[in-house]
Structure 1
């Protein structure tokens, strides 16, 4: 008689997931959207000041990512870890305990990246922006204009390119995945697969500084976050999120600001 075959990609039992304390829907909505309110406020308050100083508005997004996304969201996780366990280990409040990162998960992450790129190329966000948000300031619609490569000083261009890479490619996506998928998603797990739709829709809505991207973000990220939920492995979300942002930096930022 053959021994049962185990799925190494998905642990048979994930400690803590089934018993994790659930948030009310109102609490979950608030925790999803409140950091977005802070980040959008920081962006729209500081961007005009930076533009007047000769920097692109993307500099305000970099500041908001460092102060609000990394500071507030990671700070909340540290607070929750210390309050619940007495330690500062963020992992103690992230219920998912995934198994090894197998080659199949690597291929899955690659496929999800290809899906995200394919949806991005449809230009859905751009179409919505042109149709419904053309009344907004130009610096909000185009926070890193191509003209900055010609008008900005060399030091300013390097500062923006490096800040973008550090905060918008690596730190902010990493913290967002810990906060939204590692912490918030398991706490609405009573909704089953619907928790993924709730989570991804609220996460897309949280991007209040670019509201035209809501539909685009849901379509791009829903398959990734479904697999995060199904396999109980936030590393898939982290890998895809960083890779998508990294592609944007590699194709649109580095060539203009660092290589010209």
Structure 2
């Protein structure tokens, strides 16, 4: 029997599943566990609950997909999360690397009236401060910065992993969505970008895996997706 409304815990899982799917990552119990930093048995129990409540179904290959009801619920909570982030940054002037966890606390309690007022307040903004689309279906294609060749012109589109201490690291390094420049140098351990203002910005290669950019020339498409998108924080190699 399905519930009329998802619980807060269910919404958090639906949001994670939506993000994994949006990023093109396999929606498996292992990836959900890594993304949420919880034990696999906990994920197994919650996915069973989501299935019973009519939000997801398991495919024969054990991957997880949304039902129509589940996708609608997930898209709503993701939209609210990204809208809150944009509102806090643009209206309350909170730095973009400090709004993710605030939005997680607020997203479950937003009424339709508050959502409507926030949408008016942000004007024509289409993305959250980290570059993710507020509205479903508007995600800009991009490639990992780590894949770009030295000399490639780049524009930062978004930060795929929004864990707040990683966002602090990127901001401290001088990165932000919209940053333009070129790949100045790279090694097995780090990637350096020369910004259009002439500043050298350097981050570890593992973090560069989570920075999506438009690049010219664009690197060839990957056959495997970067594990860093769902890795626990202690594994970022910083």
Same fold (TM over 0.5): no
TM-score scaled by length of structure 1? 0.26
TM-score scaled by length of structure 2? 0.28
**Bigger fraction of residues in helix:** 1
Determine which structure has more spread, i.e. the larger CA radius of gyration.
1
Q: State the structure with bigger RCO (CA 8 A, min sep 6), 1 or 2.
A: 1
**Bigger fraction of residues in strand:** 2
